[in-house]
Structure 1
Amino acid sequence: MGSGLQHKKCDSPWDCLCPTVHCSFQENQEKKKVLNSLISGALAGAVAKTAVAPLDRTKIIPYLSLWDVQGWFLPLQEAYRLIYHTYLNEGFWSLWRGNSATMVRVIPYAAIQFCAHEEYKQLLGNYYGFQGKALTPFPRFIAGSLAGTTAAMVTYPLDMVRARMAVTPKEMYSSIVHVFIRISREEGLKTLYRGFTPTILGVIPYAGLSFFTYETLKKVHADHSGKAQPSPPERLLFGACAGLIGQSASYPLDVVRRRMQTAGVLGHTYSSILLTMQEIVREEGLVRGLYKGLSMNWVKGPIAVGISFTTFDLTQILLRKLQHGPAADR
């Protein structure tokens, strides 16, 4: 044996029994896991955002984004009218116009967020001694918050660019690349991260509560039903609850983020989160200002999050089955 030892890669755990043989089985498995998470997350984000794309078009009605103090029926009725009117006049596929540009941000964000969540769950599980078991509530919340923060940090400039394109005429920016170039040249690279602080402050409760709620509901379901995994409709319901709670908790900071991102082209100057909040409340009121658009987001948010979580889980299961057979179902 000695110096003539040949190193080989292991194709199965049984090849790892010999301590003198270099084993890369665990490393290969980890790479497959990360790749599966990235693919599943990207697909989850794309499917969820595409599903609610027609509802996103309702934002172009100014008063539709206001909180309706007399109830939700007016915004929902107007949303339906706009979608139906667009369908009649421009055709069915026009309801998804601009969705491909949205995918440029959504796909990397969702891929990173879901993949990061899986990795943070494993790290926290090892740290707290929960290997292979569900995390307790606090680590569960922390894993979600860290996942959302990681994704937001990496993809924030894309979100900034998307916000700019949404509030400016088409003539101002011809493409996403043009937005990057023009902002960098005219306003400086720092502008690409304007509104970053409220984004992170909003992501922490949003992602934390969303992942926490979804994981908690799955655990409660398993404990009370005796089933290892919920059905797809149950996953959709759990995800919808997660989206509703996360959206409600972080919404005011989301409004502040959008205001700070678009301040340069709308003629406003917002120097800090608190001053932005104060100006919004002073000019528009607490509810109509900081909760602008929440009624519509309570409709599309739970739908999108429910589809996102369900798509991620089912894609993960499918990929594992393709790689390892039926026994891989979790």
Structure 2
Amino acid sequence: MIIQNQDEMIKAGRLSEPYKGITDCFARTIKDEGVLSLWRGNTANVIRYFPTQALNFAFKDYFKRLFNFKKDRDGYWKWFAGNLASGGAAGASSLLFVYSLDYARTRLANDAKAAKKGGERQFNGLIDVYKKTIQSDGIAGLYRGFNISCIGIIVYRGLYFGMYDSLKPVVLVGGMQDSFLASFLLGWGITIGAGLASYPIDTVRRRMMMT
């Protein structure tokens, strides 16, 4: 996340020079700010994680019932599109409830000690992010980048849920139907594919959060 946003951090005077890669980012962060700084923003992430997962699955089931496509009745491709749509709609709906926590997590994780301000941080913690953002930009400031985030989550969750629900009954047949390894590899492959497809959008949305 820091490497994604280092250009914005340099512009804001919070980073003196770009990181050369993951190893350099780890080494410099630990050297300049200590090991605990690697977990900065994790409180917001933990608070956000559980309701996000619960809402995703609840909304996915709701939208699947709403679209109500059946493979035998409507054909494979219409059923497949319904799975993608229900996954994407579930992701976008859950994002509305937890987006401000994702915004706060991003700001805290990228809140390096300022290179030009004597090592000061911009925020003192989660509550301080909310307070300062609302003071400067109003409630809308907590939803900066929300539109592009909706597109990203629709792409990611649509592929994540939709592809798994659609490919599982086609790929995991016969001897692989009860195979843990086959299920794991299918889920792993779909997760990587969904992440690769949505990553460029994630980069843009996080940079919008930082501006």
TM norm structure 2: 0.72
Does residue 1:262 correspond to 2:210, yes or no? yes
Counterpart in the other structure of 2:118 = none
Alignment of 1:31-46 (within 5 A): none
Counterpart in the other structure of 2:39 = 97
Question: CA offset at residue 57 of structure 1?
Answer: 8.8
Structure 2, unmatched stretches of 5+, are 7-17, 114-120
Counterpart in the other structure of 2:142 = 192
Measured in 1, the distance between the counterparts of 2:54 and 2:38 equals 22
Q: Contact between 2:44 and 2:101, CA under 8 Å: does it hold in 1? A: no
Question: CA offset at residue 199 of structure 1?
Answer: 0.5
Measured in 1, the distance between the counterparts of 2:96 and 2:178 equals 32
Alignment of 1:1-330 (within 5 A): 62-64=19-21, 78=23, 82=26, 97-98=39-40, 99-125=42-68, 128=69, 136-169=79-112, 171-222=121-172, 224-225=173-174, 229-263=177-211
CA separation of 1:107/1:57 partners in 2, compared to 1, >3 Å: closer, same or farther? Answer: farther
Measured in 1, the distance between the counterparts of 2:158 and 2:57 equals 12
Q: Contact between 1:221 and 1:230, CA under 8 Å: does it hold in 2? A: no
Structure 1, unmatched stretches of 5+, are 1-55, 65-74, 264-330
Measured in 2, the distance between the counterparts of 1:115 and 1:195 equals 25
Q: Contact between 1:218 and 1:230, CA under 8 Å: does it hold in 2? A: no
Question: CA offset at residue 181 of structure 1?
Answer: 1.2
Question: CA offset at residue 216 of structure 1?
Answer: 2.4
Aligned residue for 1:174, secondary structure, equals coil
CA separation of 1:96/1:161 partners in 2, compared to 1, >3 Å: closer, same or farther? Answer: closer
Counting matched residue pairs gives: 183
Counterpart in the other structure of 1:291 = none
Aligned residue for 2:20, secondary structure, equals helix
Identity over aligned pairs, percent: 27
Question: CA offset at residue 160 of structure 1?
Answer: 0.9
Q: Contact between 2:100 and 2:143, CA under 8 Å: does it hold in 1? A: yes
| Larger RCO (alpha carbons 8 Å, 6+ apart) | 2
RMSD, aligned α-carbons: 3.3
Report the residue type matching 2:137 in the other structure.
E
TM norm structure 1: 0.48
Measured in 1, the distance between the counterparts of 2:51 and 2:45 equals 11
Q: Contact between 1:113 and 1:151, CA under 8 Å: does it hold in 2? A: yes
CA separation of 1:258/1:57 partners in 2, compared to 1, >3 Å: closer, same or farther? Answer: closer
Measured in 2, the distance between the counterparts of 1:234 and 1:57 equals 34
